[in-house]
Structure 1
Amino acid sequence: MKDVSIYGAGLAGLVAAVNLAREGLNVTIYEREDEIGGSKDLHPSVHSTPMQPKETWDYIGIDLSSHFVKTDAYPNMWYNRKRLTLPPYVHNMSVYNVERGARPSSVDVRLFEIAQDEGVNFEFGRALTPDELAQAPPGSIIATGLYKEVYDLVGVKNSLTYGYMALSNWEKGKTGGAIYMGNFSVDYGYSAWINGIMYVLLFSRKPLNEKDLSKFKKVIRDVEGFESEKWVTADNGHFPRELRLFWKDKILAGTLSGMIEPFWAYGVVGALLSGKVAAKTWLNREKGYEDFSNFNRGFDKKLARKEKMDSMPFNKQMIRLAMLKARYNCWRHPEIINKPKDPVRWFR
């Protein structure tokens, strides 16, 4: 039985492990944290993502539909305190919420259980230093997430992300979310709730300060009635600025490989798909690379458009104008109203 080493027990690492274990391989995952679920400083968390569930489960070979819950409505979008009117075709879209972290209701724990059932071995509390990763066996899968030292080790261009996050108890049985744009971030803030918790994140690929957070707090308080005395700084993540499936004789997976939607930074579905891509690559390098290329064919164009927009003044007003144009196009051409226009469509 051949051995496979996977570094990182996030979504990509777990999906890769399950698929390779099912092929009869002896799989071991090495994880820097002491348990499944990622950093306790950042989780539990809730993520909203557009997705194509059936295609996703069919591709990765794992049905996670019990943990991805369709939101009550497509997330509302706000500009400061003004709710934006979205193009009519938005009503054709579906967004799903999923919990991350170490709670039993998280998708991480569910994947961990599936991996254990498939015979995957785990070693927690491993530092995963650059030296250890550099000396990892050939064919190892590196799926270590957002850590700068690993980006630097494998030479993937990246940029620092900035954020503030907060968590609160919320009404059980409710699933929803909203996106907030405004003069507090070149990106956005968002709220998402599921499994009795509400998670709020202010996110930016340019530096944030307390003044930005104060503005966002007022918006989230006025719109959602959300207040928290405990906001956590989340300035240690790094965002990939290029695609990379291979590093020397090793395979990259997850965000480290660039499998993230680069404009809005949706990352959950890309991580799941990336795990299967990594497993497929381990089994057949050419077929794995073909899938990697197909899934990421729009990455460079989207990233360039995002970075150009961020460099311009009034960039959020440009998004509002784009929405007005889209609504006008729907009025001019009613036939497009019923066509899907998902912002992230991994499967064509």
Structure 2
Amino acid sequence: MSKVTIVGAGLSGLVAAINLARSGHEVKVLERENRIGGMPEFRPDPAGSPFDLEGIKRFTGVDIAPAAKLLDEATLWAWGKPYHLPMQAPIGMYMVERGSRSSSVDSLLLAEAEKLGVDVEFDHPVITQGDYARLPADTIVATGLKIEPYEALNIPYSPLYGYFAKGTADHDRTTVSLWMDTFTKDYAFNCAVNGVSFALLFQRDVPLTRESKERFTTMLAELEGLEFNQWNDLMGGACPVGSFRNPRLFHGNKILAGTFAGVIDPFLFFGMLGALVTGRVAAKAIEDKAEAYDDFRRAVMTFYPSYLMKKVWNLLPTVVKRPLVRAGISTMPRIENFAMRRFANNVPGWRLTQ
């Protein structure tokens, strides 16, 4: 079997590495950070998604269940008004921890990869166009939200601007609150898992204003009683929603995976499930590009209508958005099963797990 190089030891890169190692390939993973888990200044942090855990295991060959926790509580704050979501649907919303702690999904995947003999080289950045040109053909690139690979490989993106804080939770529940308000054209959230508390306000394309940051932190303190010692600006983020044609499995002589491949919901930015399943797709592309491409097309088929919907949504004034969101979310207790099926089916990658 061949030698395969993977850039990025995130969810996609490690799932690809695990599958390739099981197939007998010699796998090397190049990771820019000096430890597992991505940007250390941002970790640990909780991340959520609808998951069919058995479906993920069946398609990817990786069992993430030990690192996944069902949500205990979920709230949507729609322009200052709270809506508590029932969370009783058969399709579960889960939270995992990202980062370097033993409780993280990253650590779980790393342990499995290393057990199979995958060579993970930390502190090995691949940044410039020249760096990528020197890598062999069929290198898998799974670098997530970091901006430099988009620029090096000339892949369209939208810059991300964020404002975040992290700390410890005074409870052991798994919770999330989403915030839609005038402080961002996207949304904000705060969540907790494994004793970690985290909050993020973000926006694509346009920097956050000082007033927006102050408004969110004030509302978080007053409405949820959540205060953090330190807030930081998130710098150097990119998201593959710069073009209708962002989703791509192949780019030049490279294979792409996860968020970097455009496998993300362009409306709400759900990307973990897409990262997991396209790690498997990228591994498959080493041996059968046609079959892998068919899987990839199924994974991203909902990207395109969601991309257009988000463009239209951004044109609507708050006076229209607010009643639409409030009316829609107020029906959730009555239509939760239907709504969760529709929502999950719209998350890139979901169809490959069914």
**Would you say same fold, with TM above 0.5?**
yes
Name the CA distance, whole Å, in 2 between partners of 1:63 and 1:268: 14
Unaligned runs of 5+ in 1: none
Matched position secondary structure for 1:261 = coil
Unaligned runs of 5+ in 2: none
Counterpart contact for 1:80–1:183, Cα < 8 Å: yes
From 110, 113, 116, the counterpart of 2:111: 113
* 2:160 matched residue in structure 1: 161
Runs of 4+ in structure 1 over 4 Å off? 88-93, 325-328
Counterpart contact for 2:183–2:216, Cα < 8 Å: yes
Counterpart contact for 2:83–2:330, Cα < 8 Å: no
Change (3 A) 1:62 1:203: same
Choose 97-106 or 163-172, whichever is displaced more: 163-172
Change (3 A) 1:292 1:121: same
Q: Is 1:294 paired with 2:298?
A: yes
Counterpart contact for 2:167–2:196, Cα < 8 Å: yes
Deviation per CA, 1:26-64: give whole Å up to 9, x if none: 000011111111111211111122222221121111111
Change (3 A) 1:169 1:19: same
Amino acid in structure 2 at the alignment position of 1:318: K
Structure-to-structure mapping, 1:1-348, within 5 angstroms: 1-73=1-73, 75-84=74-83, 91=89, 93-130=91-128, 131-205=130-204, 206-241=206-241, 242-314=246-318, 317-318=320-321, 320-322=323-325, 324=327, 338-339=337-338, 340-345=340-345, 346-347=350-351
Counterpart contact for 1:220–1:226, Cα < 8 Å: yes
Matched position secondary structure for 2:236 = coil
Deviation per CA, 1:233-277: give whole Å up to 9, x if none: 113211102111111121011111001111100111111111111
Change (3 A) 1:251 1:338: closer
Deviation at 1:81, TM superposition (A): 2.6
Equivalenced residues, count:
341
Counterpart contact for 1:80–1:219, Cα < 8 Å: no
Q: What percentage of residue pairs aligned between the two structures are identical?
A: 34
Query: RMSD across aligned C-alpha pairs, in angstroms?
Result: 2.1
Name the CA distance, whole Å, in 2 between partners of 1:325 and 1:82: 13
Amino acid in structure 2 at the alignment position of 1:321: L
Change (3 A) 1:319 1:240: farther
Matched position secondary structure for 1:213 = helix
Name the CA distance, whole Å, in 2 between partners of 1:44 and 1:325: 33
Change (3 A) 1:327 1:37: closer
Name the CA distance, whole Å, in 1 between partners of 2:108 and 2:96: 12
Counterpart contact for 2:78–2:325, Cα < 8 Å: no
Name the CA distance, whole Å, in 2 between partners of 1:195 and 1:244: 35
Could you state the TM-score of these two structures normalised by the residue count of structure 1? 0.92
Deviation at 1:221, TM superposition (A): 0.9
Matched position secondary structure for 2:296 = helix
Could you state the TM-score of these two structures normalised by the residue count of structure 2? 0.90
Deviation at 1:148, TM superposition (A): 2.1
Amino acid in structure 2 at the alignment position of 1:177: V
